[in-house]
Amino acid sequence: VVQFAGLSQLGQEGKLVLDAVEMETILRRPTVASDIERIGAFVGGKRVLVTGGAGSIGRTLVKRSLELGADAVLVADNSEFGIFQLSQYIDEKHHDRLKVRIVDVADRRQMTRVVTEFKPDILFHAAALKHVPLLEENWESAIQTNVFGTLVCAEVAARCGVAQFVMVSSDKAVDPTSVLGMTKRAAEQIVSALHGTPAGEPGGRRPATKFIAVRFGNVFGSNGSVATIFQAQIEAGGPVTITDRRMTRYFMTVAEAVDLVIMSAADAASRPAGQDYAVYMLDMGKPVPILEVAETMIRMAGKSPYTDIPIRFTGIRPGEKLHETLHGEDEELVELSIAKIFGLSTDVAQWSDVQAALAALQQSMKSQDKAASLTILADLDRTTKTRANAQHDAVPKTAGQAS
- Which of the residues are catalytic? 172
Q: Nearest-CA neighbor of 49 among 97, 95, 14?
A: 97
Q: What span, in angstroms and rounded, lies between the C-alpha atoms of 95 and 87?
A: 8
Q: What span, in angstroms and rounded, lies between the C-alpha atoms of 110 and 11?
A: 49
Q: Which residues contact 105 (CB under 8 A, 6 or more apart)?
A: 51, 52, 76, 78, 111, 125, 127, 145, 149, 152, 153
DSSP state of 309: B
Q: What span, in angstroms and rounded, lies between the C-alpha atoms of 310 and 298?
A: 10
Q: Nearest-CA neighbor of 286 among 242, 330, 323?
A: 323
Q: Which residues contact 384 (CB under 8 A, 6 or more apart)?
A: 189, 347, 348, 349, 353
Q: Which residues contact 230 (CB under 8 A, 6 or more apart)?
A: 240, 293, 294, 297
The helix (H) or strand (E) run that includes residue 294 is helix 290-300
Q: What span, in angstroms and rounded, lies between the C-alpha atoms of 174 and 151?
A: 19
- Report the alpha-carbon angle 387-391-396, nearest 5: 165
For 38, 68, 373, 399, the CA distances from 134, given in Å and listed in that order, are: 38, 35, 17, 52
The packing angle between helices 370-394 and 351-366, to 10°, is 170
